[in-house]
Structure 1
């Protein structure tokens, strides 16, 4: 079987990447070792920047139409009892969007199948061979491969790519379940995430509602001990944790799905090995705090997708593919650092000295400047890349075709040259990869009359820069 791009892994990262490539008209095949989709919720929501990225492709509204979201509370940092306020970042999604990961995956897979993209399940990768012209996995040959196959990446192992970092120091369980009976200590309504953590009887736990009658329980022993990662999670084990923390009157109903995880912290040194790229958990792992995994992975995919498409279509400028590592590696390294800090601040063991630090951190988080900084960190809204401007604000516009938002103009996955000063500008024959739109807006644009926006939503140039438009066009679009 011949294709252009082989994507290994059908989680949010791999599916989003395949969507980006298909949107650009690039042949792509997705390989997934699991024969059926994982029914577990795992991540429970989307950070604001992830919601924005989905909006850029016109995916957010149809996704939420079949899965109504709850965005009643702001995000959290280290589960401190102060909501993160993303409104200063001028986003249409100031709160995380409550959405189980399984629904995002099901939606993206349906979109791929509608586009004719093969998602081949039951295909486990055991060997990867690459040469000067392409990559071969079994009987499938492509020009490039992207490993999106998770923390225990088979692609990474096949290529003997090191995964340096720190091994896990604790063992925990994430489980989707129903309750046959519950005590008064069990939450029944959606609240800020800081309301859910509890510790008792040698366990720490987080129990919160998902949808319908389903709950998500995360628990582990305060001693840090636990079974091996490969050991099945049993109903008795879950019941013991529920009884210890929420009382004997809290009874497990149905254990629908469960898995083990740790607080290991690792990151590959290079996101590219020849014709093979790493994205999502195959490139970086960290403690699962605050929905950072999906946020990182989806943005990895959208950063790499348009660059890989440009390479395959023969219009990538020199060095474009290398910017994927240069831009995304530091972003993940920063997430690894702040999730480690949060793991300490969460203080599940109720240590008195850490409780004092936590109290001080709570006071600091109530300061507007601190809250804005950490809301940008957790949401991904503050992400900037070297030599590139910030993310483009989703302005309300009036175009020749009527009212629109910036995100409406980027559903095609191409770049956008947005002229707000009425001037027509030359794109030097790049109309196939950049759309030029003249519009007006009443919103603050900081004195800029025009913006060149990359397909991933970041500003590549504006008239406020004082540099030639042609320079930016040639740098990013060939």
Structure 2
């Protein structure tokens, strides 16, 4: 029997498998598709944007170079400087592009230079290839062509049934996408709002491409996107989501929609690939039922506006991985696994609202278009651009870890650099937490010894300690505790025990 069975070998399932494998858990991944490759995963259809927080997760696990190489992206920034650099890209809000030069870097909380860039344009094929290679090195087994059809649960285990085969584990995690079989079989409540539009992603031969303007185009009848990739088109048709998605869209239908939303008589000579989606926004009321958990699109679905879906799912996997591993290994403090839902559910709810807001602004009616004009003016300001970047990059992410938490607690830890040049991100590659002790007397040394298997203790001054005497960083990069110039040993021990259980000595 495995420690954990994960259903779904997409980026979320594979990242979670890597986190568990890194902690020494036995992991089996079951994937419905028989082969990993697909035109929908390669450029241009599989193109995705990774946020700064997601890129940093790859960096902290030693996978950043492989990710950039697979994505065809050169490394960027100047991490050896002590001054944070402006982001290279910001993206858009509701199809309205933002100027990265307008981001007020000084206003971003606890920002330090890092080898991890602010975002990377990649594709699903590259992300899955990097994670699959890392998972194999960690001993994770992936079985393809397996469709889970039933789940049986006891107090001690979960059994996933696929055809005549049964796969038993102590825990089961559904990472099997928006139409999750695990979610339905386990009986999770799935609630939210119905769609306002049908969206289309199309790869076609366009007879007269000059009739379509490049980039995002908001029109009085909808929206269309034309990128530099030849024949790639995205469209939003505000039809209330009435298109029958059980059947593939025909060339005639796609051409009619494109002509309507673009206001042109453009002609599609041939359609090579096409799919549809909606802005239906749904979320499970909890991410855990006993020994069954959900992550990624299995737990929440929404429109792709703002490119938050993949990043939200990776954040789920990063948050869940170390907590589930601690539970499997038997040292998790009481209630640790319950903090997964408590911390991640509000983030998922925010993303759903973020996409709803964009859909509302993009509606082709006079009221929405009037609001669009106001929003466009706000996004043209320094404060407006900075606000959107904070939200979409993960810079504003902060978990509520207590009513009296210090300002850095609950946030993603900045990439602090010690005097010898070692960076925090480099210290996190083994998946353990990190205790950074900047005090001159190694004040926390004896206290940290009891948790050596769960955290790395590092002492010494930092080039930029941001005014703190010590930090306790969780395996997911979140600051769990911060001490002043003379850090309190008792407070550190309470924080370590709260997150890592009783000391081993």
Superposition TM-score, scaled by structure 1 size: 0.88
Gaps of 5+ in 1: 188-194
* Pair 1:457 & 2:474 matched: no
For residues 258-407 of structure 1, what are the structure 2 equivalents within 5 Å?
Answer: 258-347=274-363, 349=364, 351-387=365-401, 388-399=409-420, 403-407=421-425
Find the aligned partners of 1:339 and 1:251 in 2 and give their Cα distance. Answer: 29
CA change 1:13–1:389 in 2 (3 A) is: same
CA change 1:364–1:145 in 2 (3 A) is: same
**Of the candidates 151, 156, 170, which is equivalent to residue 178 of structure 2?**
151
Find the aligned partners of 2:451 and 2:241 in 1 and give their Cα distance. Answer: 58
**3-state DSSP class of the match of 2:28?**
strand
The offset of 1:10, in angstroms, is 1.4
**Residue of structure 1 in register with 2:60 after alignment:** 56
* Pair 1:421 & 2:421 matched: no
The offset of 1:250, in angstroms, is 6.0
**Residue of structure 2 in register with 1:440 after alignment:** 461
CA change 1:288–1:460 in 2 (3 A) is: same
Find the aligned partners of 1:120 and 1:199 in 2 and give their Cα distance. Answer: 46
CA contact (8 A) 1:315 1:477 kept: yes
Find the aligned partners of 1:246 and 1:68 in 2 and give their Cα distance. Answer: 36
**3-state DSSP class of the match of 1:4?**
strand
CA contact (8 A) 1:9 1:32 kept: yes
Greater Cα offset, 217-226 or 52-61: 217-226
CA change 1:42–1:433 in 2 (3 A) is: same
CA change 1:198–1:345 in 2 (3 A) is: closer
CA change 1:170–1:243 in 2 (3 A) is: closer
For residues 25-104 of structure 1, what are the structure 2 equivalents within 5 Å?
Answer: 25-37=24-36, 38-40=38-40, 41-42=45-46, 44-69=48-73, 73-83=89-99, 85=103, 87=105, 88-89=107-108, 90=111, 92=114, 95-104=118-127
CA change 1:68–1:477 in 2 (3 A) is: same
CA change 1:31–1:115 in 2 (3 A) is: same
Find the aligned partners of 1:76 and 1:86 in 2 and give their Cα distance. Answer: 17
The offset of 1:241, in angstroms, is 4.5
Find the aligned partners of 1:267 and 1:249 in 2 and give their Cα distance. Answer: 38
CA contact (8 A) 1:42 1:174 kept: no
**Residue of structure 1 in register with 2:157 after alignment:** 134
CA contact (8 A) 1:172 1:226 kept: no
* Pair 1:205 & 2:224 matched: yes
CA contact (8 A) 1:151 1:282 kept: yes
CA contact (8 A) 1:220 1:226 kept: no
The offset of 1:113, in angstroms, is 2.6
Find the aligned partners of 2:35 and 2:394 in 1 and give their Cα distance. Answer: 31
* Alignment deviations for residues 342-401 of structure 1 (CA, whole Å, 9 cap, x no partner): 111124x2x3332222222222234434433332212222111111431100123333xx
RMSD value over aligned CA atoms? 2.5
The offset of 1:242, in angstroms, is 4.9
CA contact (8 A) 1:239 1:252 kept: no
Find the aligned partners of 2:26 and 2:316 in 1 and give their Cα distance. Answer: 19
**3-state DSSP class of the match of 1:164?**
strand
**Residue of structure 1 in register with 2:239 after alignment:** 223
* Alignment deviations for residues 296-340 of structure 1 (CA, whole Å, 9 cap, x no partner): 100000000000001111111111101001100111111111211
Superposition TM-score, scaled by structure 2 size: 0.84
The offset of 1:446, in angstroms, is 3.3
Find the aligned partners of 1:265 and 1:94 in 2 and give their Cα distance. Answer: 30
